[in-house]
Amino acid sequence: MGIKKRHKNSEIPHKASKLHPLSDEQKEENRQKASARICVEHINAKIKTFQILTQKYRNRRKRFNLRFNLICGLINFDRGFEVGIK
């Protein structure tokens, strides 16, 4: 809950309690937030399959950004995102 203090644009799902159950509108908002969050989690999992974030990076630090961008480009290509090359 403290993330709201640091990041004003963060969205936290509504919480329910025994005395204050969620309304149908709040439940629908929570579903929409969860569906958006799961897309991001799937992409994070795909990045982790390349092991660049899960293990210690042992190569030259100069090339980390290049390799990470290449991996993200592969994932975007796999997901159907097209990049316009000029």
- CA dihedral defined by 35, 73, 50, 58, rounded to 10 degrees? -130
Q: Hey, where are the domains in the chain? A: 23-86
Instruction: Please tell me the pTM assigned to this model.
Output: 0.63
Q: Please tell me the chain's helix, strand, coil percentages from 3-state DSSP, rounded to the nearest 5.
A: 55, 0, 45
Distances (CA, A) of 48 to 32, 36, 45: 25, 19, 5
pLDDT (tens digit, 9 = 90+) per residue, 13-62? 899 999 999 999 999 999 999 999 998 898 888 888 888 777 787 778 77
DSSP state, residue 22: P
